[in-house]
Amino acid sequence: MSGARSYQAAITPDRRQGRVVSVMSLAATSAAALAPGLAGLLLARFSSGTAMLIFPALVAVPAVTATFSTGIRAMRVEP
């Protein structure tokens, strides 16, 4: 996550930094607010053990995708 924020800071013009950071914060807090509801839906549909496996998988899939993405690895920042 810090790598993405560092890259964002490097490519965003100074005059837009505040807006971009506020949108990123809004997205993060919205996801945090939705997480308990999603956990409740998973627990209502599946057993607790299955729900405990699904929820981390939902977080791990984007992380692994980003880790092995050639597009992200190829990004360069010019000064």
Residues 6, 77: Cα–Cα separation, whole Å: 10
Q: Is the pLDDT of residue 4 over 70?
A: no
Reported as a single tens digit per residue, the pLDDT across 23-44 is: 988 988 998 888 899 889 999 9
**What's the mean pLDDT in 9-27?**
88
| Residue 2, phi-psi category: left (phi > 0), alpha (psi -120 to 50), beta (remainder) | alpha
Query: Is the pLDDT at 49 greater than 90, yes or no?
Result: yes
Tens-digit pLDDT profile for residues 55-67: 888 888 888 887 8
Predicted structure pTM score: 0.56
